[in-house]
Chains A and B, each alone.
Chain A
Amino acid sequence: MRRAPLTLLAGAALTGVFALAALVSLLWTPFDVTAMNIGARLQAPNAQHWFGTDHFGRDVLSMIMVGARISIAVAVVAVGMGMVLGVPLGLLAAANRGGLLDEVIMRGNDLIFAFPALVIAILITAVFGPSAVNAIIAIGIFNTPVFARVARGGALSLWTLDYIRAAEVSGKGKLRISAEHILPNIANLLIVQGTIQFSLGILAEAALSYVGLGAQPPMPSWGRMLAEAQTMISFAPHLAILPGLAIVLTVLGLNLMGDGLRDSLDPKLRRAR
């Protein structure tokens, strides 16, 4: 039994804190995040409001907890969407390597890849209106080619191996081989990529909310909290620092976890050890 690498533990712990906060926020937050209490606005962190209050008198701790839920939910669904769309496309392309279908899929991928991710997101929210759901769709779309490439790349190297050849000779179809033999063997690659995409998804959600295209008020979101805090940073710095820290720590946690997972899952690294 090998010990899990330190980075994995640290990353999982950091991510776990925010995941826990998000889970708890489903059942309970210290204060109602939609209730405003103008009389208690702009309080610095204190015993009652651990993270202080914002310009509408809302409790910042509660908002960060609910914000964690929004960020994580958006990122999970978006990455899931990218995987569900991208992985089969990548497997299909690899199964037809060199064929017309491969070309069509991969050039289509390049097309989406060529757009900067945020521009796609702005395009989608501009057409369909800003909302958390449209942010998910936008982030999901630019996750798709990433997973398609990873799946195709991993699958291509497997297709040349003897046991795949054996399965082919024994009469299994391409799709069945892809599903039964290739997918399980590239799962580790996908998990590592998923973790990295997850942290990018959190960042993308924050960026979209920051420019007003993500979750709409009254739903709190980290990006919008940052945007609103901007003009108040000189007299209420906690309003900018706390959601900023939440974003940084979550992304750091996920990146550490991604690194750690790669270290422990990647067969090449495992063999070298």
Chain B
Amino acid sequence: MLGRLKMGLAILALVASPALAQRTDISVGMVLEPPNLDPTSGAAAAIREVTYSNIFEGLTRFGPDGSILPGLAHAWDLSDDGLTYTFHLREGVQFHDGAPFSAEDVVFSLDRARAEDSTNAQKQLFAAIETVTAIDPLTVQVTLSQPQGAFLFNMAWGDAVIMSPASVASNATNPVGTGAFRFVRWVQGDRLELERNPYYWGEAPALERATFRFISDPSAAFAAMMAGDVDAFPNFPAPESLAQFQADPRFNVIVGSTEGETILSMNHQNPALADIRVRQAISHAINRQDIIDGAMFGYGTPIGSHFAPHHPDYLDLTANSPHDPDAARALLAEAGQEGLTLRLMLPPPTYARRGGEIVAAQLREVGIATEITNLEWAQWLEQVFRGHDFDLTIISHTEPMDIGIYARDNYYFQYDSADMKAIMAELEVTSDPDARTALLQAAQRHIADDFVVAFLFQLAKTGVANADIEGLWENAPVPANDLTGVRWAR
């Protein structure tokens, strides 16, 4: 009898204890689902928002403030001529499948990323690398063709992570990295689960399990947050609800900056949009503040070029394309493009769907008709980003320091400017900080003067989280949901 009572108490204690102990699981909401899970072969930010630092790691990594921290390399030396980096790798690191991590994996990953047939979305990160050699299992030497000030920064990107040759082929669906979490499963269209990697080389994360849930509908996101189905939504899709979360003591609202230059992108293959007067007219038709207020409820900073306002080299060029419908009409008349009709393709995020309606109204004001088509994320990547089948689209470019996309061949907006390419090529070989600043500002001015696209605003990071969660990134120096430092305070 007593034994049974004891057992009963024990069961009761077992049942009750999880409520008393700190939670070690988290459910994180995301608007967009990654198309695959291999960050070295896709441009979608959602891939990195799941994998960065959680599953995959690079030689260096970004801290929450954008600083460069040691990653798989705990230290490095730079030769006096600025051409040779010697990376000292961490000991005792292994991949999730048990394969040991060594210098050979670094050589393999960097050579793969910079190869001729590489599918890496950011090949320019590796352009300066001449050779990568393994000196011994824990030392890698990287020789550059010219000194590159941003090399350690480049190596911190989600696109420069180190993979094992054994698992590289299946990383798109079953990612195997060295990070603090390992992949459990991905229920497409619903969620993706991670668990703590018991063999992690660094400090073990506080969380045991993490689930990313994909909720693109803003009202569903609101309901999921309110019901506690989702513990944190680092990029909450309904900015209008933030005031309500702010007033609720159960939640923390975290507003920070992102590297997301949100632009009204134009397809230069379209004969009308190849005319700078039409592009300038569109830029003058846009009222940035109205878009920020109407679509984002005031969260966002107007930009006049493709550069983050919190960056020290930022130039405020918004005055270059002020809201001026009369000037826009005059330019359109001059170009002989009255009665122009353009297709506007909108991906799912709120900034695009709502911003698109406002942009359409503003363009109508100056006599440009638009046909709006709402696309799902995979469709947008396929049709617009890869297929170049669009006239206008709204998208936020969330990679850091990505002004170089305007010098890229065959990038989706199809801009081709020898001058811009020359500026970026010179930037590559310049390491003097003042000269770099001058070049970066020249680049900002060049694309603003060429009205390559209409620059709208810098996306704010508007996150909502359970008030008991600590350690989420406030800003987004790269697209990432780094969960290694996240814990429940209560």
Chain A: residues with CB nearer than 8 A to chain B?
34-36, 38, 41, 55-57, 129-130, 212, 216-218, 227, 230-232, 234-235
Cβ–Cβ contact B294 & A38, under 8 A: yes
Complex contacts, B289 vs chain A, CB 8 Å: 38
A218 and B294 in contact, given A129-B373, A230-B219, A231-B240 (Cβ under 8 angstroms): no
> In the complex, A212 Cα to B357 Cα: how many Å?
14
> In the complex, A34 Cα to B360 Cα: how many Å?
9
Q: Give residues of chain B (354-374) contacting chain A, Cβ–Cβ below 8 Å.
A: 354, 356-358, 360-362, 364, 372-374
Complex contacts, B290 vs chain A, CB 8 Å: 36, 38
Known: A36-B290, A56-B294. 4 other contacts (CB 8 A): A38-B358, A41-B293, A56-B358, A235-B240
Cβ–Cβ contact B358 & A231, under 8 A: no
Cβ–Cβ contact B294 & A35, under 8 A: no
Confirm or deny: B218 has a beta carbon within 8 angstroms of a beta carbon on chain A.
Answer: yes
1/0 contact trace for B462-478 toward A, CB 8 Å?
A: 00000000000000000
Q: Is the interface of A mostly helix, strand, loop or mixed?
A: loop
**A243 smallest CB distance to B (angstroms):** 15
A35 and B240 in contact, given A41-B294, A55-B294, A231-B219 (Cβ under 8 angstroms): no
**B40 smallest CB distance to A (angstroms):** 33
Cβ–Cβ contact B372 & A35, under 8 A: no
Question: 10 smallest A-B Cβ distances: which pairs?
Answer: A230-B219, A38-B290, A231-B238, A38-B294, A36-B361, A231-B219, A231-B218, A217-B357, A38-B293, A56-B294
Which single residue of chain B is at the shortest CB-CB distance from A229?
B219
Which single residue of chain A is at the shortest CB-CB distance from B370?
A218
Q: Give residues of chain B (244-284) contacting chain A, Cβ–Cβ below 8 Å.
A: 244
A234 and B244 in contact, given A36-B358, A217-B360, A218-B357 (Cβ under 8 angstroms): yes
**A214 smallest CB distance to B (angstroms):** 12
Confirm or deny: B16 has a beta carbon within 8 angstroms of a beta carbon on chain A.
Answer: no
Chain B: residues with CB nearer than 8 A to chain A?
218-219, 222, 238, 240-241, 243-244, 287, 289-290, 293-294, 354, 356-358, 360-362, 364, 372-374
Complex contacts, B222 vs chain A, CB 8 Å: 231
Cβ–Cβ contact A232 & B358, under 8 A: no
Which single residue of chain A is at the shortest CB-CB distance from B371?
A216
**Other-chain contact of A232, B240, B357, B373 (Cβ < 8 Å):** B240
Cβ–Cβ contact B219 & A56, under 8 A: no
Which single residue of chain A is at the shortest CB-CB distance from B247?
A234
Complex contacts, A216 vs chain B, CB 8 Å: 372, 374
Complex contacts, B354 vs chain A, CB 8 Å: 55
> In the complex, A34 Cα to B289 Cα: how many Å?
19
Cβ–Cβ contact B240 & A218, under 8 A: no
**B137 smallest CB distance to A (angstroms):** 54
> In the complex, A35 Cα to B358 Cα: how many Å?
9
Cβ–Cβ contact B293 & A218, under 8 A: no
Cβ–Cβ contact B357 & A56, under 8 A: yes
Complex contacts, A38 vs chain B, CB 8 Å: 287, 289-290, 293-294, 358
Complex contacts, A232 vs chain B, CB 8 Å: 240
**Other-chain contact of B241, A34, A56, A212, A231 (Cβ < 8 Å):** A231
Cβ–Cβ contact A55 & B374, under 8 A: no
